[in-house]
Amino acid sequence: MQAGVDTPRVVITGTGVVSPIGTGNEAFWRSLMQGRSGVSFLDAFPAEHLPSKLVAEVSDFDPLRYLPSRKLLKVMSRDIQLGVAAAHLAITDARLRPGQLPPERVGVVYGAGRISSTPEDLVEATRMTDAGDLGYESTRWGEDGLGRVTPLWLLKRLPNMPACHVSIGLDARGPNNTITCRDASALLAIAEAVRVIQRGAADCMIVGACGSSIHPVDIAKLSLFETLSRRTDEPARACRPFDKDRDGTVLGEGAGALVLERHELARERGVEPYAEIIGTGAGCDARPDEDESAGEGLVHAIRAALDEAGISAGQLGHINAHGKATPREDLVEARALHLALGDQAERIPLTALKSYFGQCDAGGGAVELVGSLLALRQGYVPATLNYETPDEGCRLNVIHGRPLRLENPVALVVNRTDIGQSAAVIVRRL
């Protein structure tokens, strides 16, 4: 962003990722360069009656590698475990130790989506409402069932808990906040953290987002209002952002986290930043159900980010798109990119990383941003998987086939919910 004389420059000094294609920066980046998909058939649960049988799951994940005590698992859902692990990796990457900075000057902002309850959580309680031949007896819920619910059950489902656990682990006593705007949560959390540092309320912020939607209950529920891929052949080829033959998204899970700090503080600590955050923007569609206004929020978010960064569309090096891979949402996003960027929308190289790990709800934006930050450092932008037949309705310069050598160290990352909540972040390699 255009920093004034007294406005701190905000840089990213650490990244952490837990994803279906790898945990940790090295494994994640290696999969992106090799074009390895994390999408597979659901095999942990019976899937024959589910509308979609594809998921992108984080495999070989051991939360105890990142937690000080096994007892914490009692109050951590899968989403929270992923989010705390990503934060641990980012903090380690930034070489930030507990007590290194005044705890009141370190804060946390996390994005979280809906953390669903599962039938296993309530099975004992609901069993108490069974009245035999009479069926369900509601009075038994209060009399007998409620007492069978563990008192800690709700702590596993509160969306503010990822931020709480991260702050406790680092003894971060500064501003603490949670953003719950589904897919847009991560980038909105970035914008909030930047503002906290700029107004002098903190010197360092831990920012991230997490999500998990691979339980059969989530798949069945989300299929009612999400367009999920119904492919039954090769799972790795199912998620096809902006491809003419796309038929829907794939549900996944993942978390990403970043360490933001004042540029001066990073220099004092001797840490090389990944990039500087030079612009952020947000918006929302005024009438999300009307096709003519769909995407207005994303247009506003991109224009606001460009204005704050003080650059033109032609100065962008690559776009990390939302790329949900549904027929309608990709068209809406492409139209918004054309309105916001003009002729440059067909020229700027674009990647869509959901092709690797599906839709991770709130966590997706953070994982995708980590992908662009690693691209800025490594000098290559990952290709979009499964982009084979261009869609004339999109007309975008989609990177495909192989990674693209990076020529311009400026990246635009965007996310959008299906009801129009949108966010954009622009980062530049120093």
Say what the pLDDT of residue 1 is. Answer: 47
- Nearest Cα neighbor of 214 from 379, 52, 392 is 52
**Whether residue 215 has pLDDT greater than 70:** yes
Is 144 part of any domain?
no
Is 141 part of any domain?
no
The HSE-up count of residue 239 (CA atoms within 13 Å, CB side) is: 29
Say what the pLDDT of residue 136 is. Answer: 67
d(CA 413, CA 395): 18
**Whether residue 53 has pLDDT greater than 80:** yes
Say what the pLDDT of residue 397 is. Answer: 98
Task: Give residue 292's domain range.
Answer: 10-117+154-428
d(CA 381, CA 379): 7
Instruction: Print burial letters for 133-167: b (CB count within 10 Å at least 16), e (below 16).
Output: eeeeeeebbeeebeeeeeeeeebbbebebbbbbbb
pLDDT tens-place string over residues 236-293: 999 999 999 999 999 999 999 999 999 999 999 999 999 999 999 999 997 766 677 7
pLDDT tens-place string over residues 186-198: 999 999 999 999 9
Contact 188, 366 (CB under 8 A): no
Q: Decide the pairing of beta strands 251-262 and 275-283.
A: unpaired
**Whether residue 133 has pLDDT greater than 70:** no
Is 130 part of any domain?
no
pLDDT tens-place string over residues 383-400: 999 999 999 999 999 999
Kindly report the pTM of this predicted structure: 0.94
Is 129 part of any domain?
no
Is 229 part of any domain?
yes
Say what the pLDDT of residue 60 is. Answer: 87
Q: What is the DSSP letter of 52?
A: -
**Whether residue 9 has pLDDT greater than 70:** yes
Q: Give the CATH number, domain containing residue 76.
A: 3.40.47.10
- Nearest Cα neighbor of 278 from 425, 409, 377, 378 is 425
Tokens 């990142």 belong to: 66
Q: Would you say the C-alpha torsion 320, 326, 331, 336 has a positive or negative sign?
A: negative
Cβ-based neighbour number of residue 286 at 10 Å: 12
Number of domains in the chain: 1
Cβ-based neighbour number of residue 295 at 10 Å: 26
Q: What is the CA angle 168-173-177, rounded to 5? A: 85
Is 383 part of any domain?
yes
What's the rounded mean pLDDT across residues 22-30? 98
What rounded mean pLDDT belongs to the chain? 93
- Which run of H or of E encompasses 414? strand 410-416
Q: How many Å separate Cα 376 from the centre of its chain?
A: 18
pLDDT band per the 50, 70, 90 thresholds, residue 220:
confident
What contacts 197, CB < 8 A, 6 or more positions away?
A: 8, 10, 203, 204, 205, 260, 261, 262
Q: Decide the pairing of beta strands 410-416 and 318-320.
A: parallel
In terms of C-beta density within 10 A (0-12 exposed, 13-18 middle, 19 or more buried), how is residue 280 classed? Answer: buried
pLDDT tens-place string over residues 317-367: 999 999 999 999 999 999 999 999 999 999 999 999 999 999 999 999 999
List beta partners, residue 36.
none
Plot region of 128 (φ>0 → left; ψ -120 to 50 → alpha; else → beta) = alpha
Query: What does R_g of the chain's alpha carbons equal in angstroms?
Result: 21
Is 135 part of any domain?
no
Is 146 part of any domain?
no
Say what the pLDDT of residue 289 is. Answer: 63
**Cα dist from 7 to 189, 196, 199, 302, whole Å:** 19, 11, 8, 22
Instruction: Print burial letters for 36-74: b (CB count within 10 Å at least 16), e (below 16).
Output: ebbbbebeeeebeebebbbbbbbeebebeebbeeeebee
